[in-house]
């Protein structure tokens, strides 16, 4: 069935293939274009370097007028990422705009990795370590990076 959401997602997919942003990749499920799997690579020269973080994105028929629900499948350690993988990111909530596409969403999440927003903590321990003990925080992040290689 071709709805405006599906049509838009096809355009997003084409754009992602023709003009791939660096460090992120994604594709819809074979059977359902409304559900996508994506991978964000940890940015070089940061504690996240080398990590491969899997996510799932679920779109509704209201896309692009409503943001998709995005969740990390890989275990994360980040001030703005909940234990269940939900992401606290303004553009996925009240700052959403229908001009965003999947490339924009994934690159925004990638930049959130190294640039946490201390105002909206979702993981209090990560938040506290980020503010008070950056060395320990970085160590925990590198642990997560190593775990990301063996995660199912």
- Report which DSSP code applies to 86: B
Smallest separation, CB 124 to another protein (Å) = 31
What is the DSSP secondary structure assignment for residue 83, as one 8-state letter? T
Options 44, 58, 62, 146; binder of another protein; rule CB under 8 A? 62
33, 38, 88, 122: the catalytic one is 88
Answer whether 132's CB lies under 8 Å from 48's CB: no
> Is residue 67 a contact partner of residue 91, using CB atoms and an 8 Å limit?
yes
4 belongs to the binding site for another protein (CB under 8 A): yes
| Size of site (CB under 8 A) for another protein | 15
Task: Note whether 16 binds another protein by CB under 8 A.
Answer: no
Q: Is position 120 an interface residue for another protein (rule: CB under 8 A)?
A: no
97 binds another protein (CB under 8 A): yes
Q: Is 20 in the site for another protein (CB under 8 A)?
A: no
* β-bridge partners, 70: 57
Interface residue list for another protein (CB under 8 A): 3-4, 7-8, 11-12, 15, 62, 64-66, 97-99, 101
Catalytic sites, residue numbers: 88
């Amino acid at each position: 069935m071709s709805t405006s959401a599906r049509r838009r997602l096809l355009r997003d997919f084409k754009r992602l293939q023709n003009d791939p942003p660096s460090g992120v990749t994604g594709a819809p499920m074979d059977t359902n274009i409304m559900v996508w799997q994506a991978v964000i690579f940890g940015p070089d020269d940061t504690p996240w370097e080398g990590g491969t973080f899997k996510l799932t994105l679920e779109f509704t028929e209201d896309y692009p007028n409503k943001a998709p629900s995005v969740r990390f499948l890989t275990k994360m350690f980040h001030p703005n990422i909940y234990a269940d993988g939900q992401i606290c990111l303004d553009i996925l909530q009240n700052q959403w705009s229908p001009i965003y596409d999947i490339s924009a969403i994934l690159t925004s999440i990638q930049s959130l990795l190294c640039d946490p927003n201390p105002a909206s903590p979702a993981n209090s321990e990560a938040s506290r370590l980020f503010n008070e003990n950056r060395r320990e925080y970085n160590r925990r992040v590198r642990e997560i990076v190593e775990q990301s290689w063996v995660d199912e």
